[in-house]
Amino acid sequence: MFYSAFKIVLGRNGTLLIPTFTYSYSNGKIYNPNKSKNICGLLSEEFQKKREGKTYLDPNISYVVFGKFKDYFTSAVPYNSYGKNSLFEKFYNLNGKICNFNLDAGSTFIHYLERKLLVSYRFDKEFCGKTIIGKKKFDSCNSIYVKKKKYKKEVSFKKFTDVCVNLNKFKTAKIGRGFVGVISSKNCYEILKKELRKNYFFLLKWA
């Protein structure tokens, strides 16, 4: 039902990216797109089964992509999951929209923006491991943008969401007993840039 609804809304020229994160390398595990545990939930797992989807083979932060630009988004996986030519950079350049079910305006995409805005409480950390794709096995390394240990407080998107709602940039609609919310990547960037200038630790719970 959800898949059909997305296809109707996006049409022939739309593209849908569904997170299928495994964080395999960062957890010291082998990455196998057909076997590694998807931590993003049932809906994500169901989309992953669709044959028309194409996988972005990041050993930590993978996606399954459908539609017009699926080859563009999955054509190459750079060393840094949040760096140049990453899926997140391509998504930002096309001003993609983030669609959340029963969640606030936050998303993993925000970490790409934190890196783009050069926050000091995160850094690029390398993880190495083994990937198995079909009969092919190889070793590789991957870097993700992680929070420094000295910052004990967790990330919170509550204040970010409140600002987005007040500015009418996070659009929501009821769906069953829950809701769906949408915000554009460029709006995320502009809002976060402005708020970080006022409060550098805007996204941490203690700020």
Domain range for 43 is 2-198
The percent of residues in the chain predicted with pLDDT above 90, rounded, is 95
> Would you say residue 79 has pLDDT above 70?
yes
Whether residue 205 lies inside any domain: the answer is no
Please give the average per-residue pLDDT across 25-44, as a whole number.
96
Helix (H, G, I), strand (E, B) or coil at 147: strand
Whether residue 7 lies inside any domain: the answer is yes
Alpha-carbon distance 66 to 55, whole Å? Answer: 9
Alpha-carbon distance 11 to 201, whole Å? Answer: 40
Please give the average per-residue pLDDT across 21-38, as a whole number.
97
Cβ(52)–Cβ(46) below 8 Å? no
Whether residue 143 lies inside any domain: the answer is yes
Query: What is the band of 145 on the pLDDT scale with cuts at 50, 70, 90?
Result: very high
Map tokens 């989309």 to a residue: 47
Question: What are 76's two structure tokens?
Answer: 């190459």
> Would you say residue 29 has pLDDT above 90?
yes
Whether residue 203 lies inside any domain: the answer is no
Whether residue 171 lies inside any domain: the answer is yes
Quickly count: other Cβ atoms within 10 Å of residue 46's Cβ.
12
pLDDT of the residue at 169: 98
Those residues whose C-beta lies under 8 Å from the C-beta of residue 182, and which sit 6 or more positions away, are: 97, 98, 99, 100, 170, 171, 172
Please give the average per-residue pLDDT across 7-34, as a whole number.
96
Map tokens 């967790």 to a residue: 154
pTM for this prediction: 0.94
pLDDT of the residue at 153: 83
Whether residue 10 lies inside any domain: the answer is yes
Query: What is the band of 110 on the pLDDT scale with cuts at 50, 70, 90?
Result: very high
Alpha-carbon distance 16 to 160, whole Å? Answer: 24
Question: What are 108's two structure tokens?
Answer: 């993993």
Cβ(114)–Cβ(108) below 8 Å? no
105-114, 149-158, 195-204: segment of lowest average pLDDT: 149-158
Domain count, the chain: 1
pLDDT of the residue at 206: 63
Helix (H, G, I), strand (E, B) or coil at 5: helix
Whether residue 11 lies inside any domain: the answer is yes
Cβ(170)–Cβ(184) below 8 Å? no
- Reported as half-sphere exposure (CB side, CA atoms, 13 A), residue 93 has a value of 11
Whether residue 99 lies inside any domain: the answer is yes
Please give the average per-residue pLDDT across 156-185, as a whole number.
96
